[in-house]
Amino acid sequence: MKKIEFYKHNLTPKDIRACVSVLKSFFLTTGQSVEEFEKKFSDYLSVKYAIGVNSCTDALFLSLKGLGIKDGDEVITTPLSFIATSNAIEYCGAKPVFVDVEEKTGNINADLIEKAVTKKTKAVLPVHLYGQMCDMIKIKKISRKHKLKIIEDSAHCIEGIRDGIRPGQLSDAACFSFYATKNITSGEGGAIVTNDKKLYEWLIKARLHGMNKDAKNRYHKKYEHYDMEFLGYKSNMSNIQASLLTNQLKRIEKHLSRKEELYKRYEVGFKNSPNIKTMKLAPNTKHARLLYTILVKEELRDLTISKLQDKGIGIAVNFRPIHLMKYYKNKYNYSIGGFPNAEIIGNSTISLPFYPKLTIREQQYIIKTLNKITS
């Protein structure tokens, strides 16, 4: 069979035409297209404000800075995520304090958070891993008790709902990714959503150097001088990125339905496979279905990856435990065994092709091949 790519994007001719229209216009940077996307994105998530930025990493960093995280602070988070989660905390001069994850979901174990709170703890940064939301009700209760800020890493979880709650509805801010492999994509890009007007107003300026007027506002009618109110950053989303996202957002639920079909076929295909385990769904949860991950025996994981690639099947690993990365291991003296669930998942997991364009024939080939390899 022809190689099965790990991921294929869902851009359509209509999305491309929208982008070409922006490219033919005179205004390519942050402008009307960004504002249109921000409005539709906040409406979709039922929150007051959305701010388009150039990556989820910047979204996390800006949110932490805007909520006052600084040198010497501690932020409780998960060791099972992409490194950007903890890196954003480091950029603020703060320390990421890891707690272990749930064995069945890979999400941060909310029952362990309170034990990690110290006088230096200022925030909690949960990650909605693979598209499944953490227990935000429990996390919110803990944050209220200890007066902690909550910043959600929702890079995987635009469509997610748990206990009737969406990302951004119980937190101070939720951050999203539009990276190349996400359910909606602009190649690179991100967004922050919040119900906090003061934070929103700061973020709008902070994403563009701390200026009080961006290019659109300076040239809209009559030229007006800008001022720099504080030391900001260069993190704004462009009209080019936004033009690719707006129409995808309209199709996001349709694509989710398609991925639910793919998910069910994988689950049936691996149901009787003794050497393949899958992640579980928490009660009262709508999964965003960004990734489909399996767990195989740690000692066989890398060999399984190699054999799948030999058979033309694209894969990824989401994720290796952050605390065992060289930088974090050396800086904070972490060792193997510190967060056992995160380590077991990180050493066992394989992400399989999982996107709307994946055909039934391709998926059947993946299932058959993987079952044979692991039998």
pLDDT in tens, 110-128: 999 999 999 999 999 999 9
Look over the chain and give the mean of its residue pLDDT values, rounded to a whole number.
Answer: 96
Host H or E run for residue 273:
none
CATH number at residue 27: 3.40.640.10
Say yes or no to pLDDT of 220 above 70: no
* pLDDT at 219 exceeding the cut of 90: no
Residue 323 domain-assigned (yes or no) = yes
Same domain, 158 and 128: yes
DSSP codes joined into one string, 64-76: HHHTT--TT-EEE
- The whole domain housing 49 covers 13-248
The verdict on 287 and 171 lying in the same domain is: no
Residue 222 has pLDDT above 80, yes or no: no
Which among 221, 248, 275 is the end of a domain? Answer: 248
Given this model, what pLDDT does residue 162 score?
98
Looking at residue 12, its amino acid is T
Cβ atoms < 10 Å from Cβ of 266? 21
Structure confidence by residue, pLDDT tens digits, 7-40? 999 999 999 999 999 999 988 999 999 999 999 9
What is residue 330's predicted lDDT score, i.e. its pLDDT?
Answer: 97
Whether 178 and 326 share a structural domain: no
Residues 45 and 155 in one domain: yes
Angstrom distance (rounded) from CA 247 to CA 239: 13
Asked whether residue 232 falls in the same domain as residue 332, the answer is: no
Distance CA 46, CA 193 (A): 10
pLDDT at 214 over 90: no
pLDDT (0 to 100) of residue 51: 98
Reported as type and span, the H/E element at residue 244 is helix 239-270
Domain boundary among 248, 274, 298: 248
User: Is 8 contained in some domain?
Assistant: no
CATH number for the domain spanning 316: value is 3.90.1150.10
Do 183 and 221 lie in a common domain?
yes
The angle subtended at Cα 94 by Cα 206 and Cα 148, nearest 5°, is: 80
Residue 326 has pLDDT above 90, yes or no: yes
* pLDDT for res 324: 98
Whole-number Å distance between alpha carbons of 248 and 186: 10
Asked if residue 3 belongs to a domain, the reply is: no
Cis preceding-peptide flag for 61 (omega within 30 of 0): no
Task: Measure CA 41 to chain center.
Answer: 15
Q: Are residues 226 and 272 in the same domain?
A: no
Instruction: Please compute Rg for the chain using Cα positions.
Output: 21
SS3 151: strand
Q: Are residues 285 and 213 in the same domain?
A: no
Number of H helices, E strands in the chain: 12, 12
> If pLDDT is split at 50, 70 and 90, which confidence band does 80 have?
very high
| 181 in the same domain as 86 | yes
Q: What pLDDT, on a 0 to 100 scale, did the predictor assign at position 1?
A: 81
Within this chain, do residues 236 and 292 fall inside the same structural domain, yes or no?
A: no
What percent of the chain lies above the pLDDT cut of 90?
95
Give the residue carrying structure tokens 């066992």: 348
Question: Is the model's pLDDT at 221 over the cut of 80?
Answer: no
Is 4 domain-assigned? Answer: no
1 lies in a domain? no
- By the 8 A CB rule, do 82 and 56 touch? no
- Please tell me whether residues 134 and 107 are part of one structural domain: yes
The verdict on 75 and 127 lying in the same domain is yes
Task: State how many domains the chain has.
Answer: 2
pLDDT for 215 beyond 80: no
Residue 218 binned pLDDT confidence (cut-offs 50, 70, 90): low
Question: Which of 200, 224, 248 lies at the terminal end of a domain, its last residue?
Answer: 248
pLDDT at 223: 77
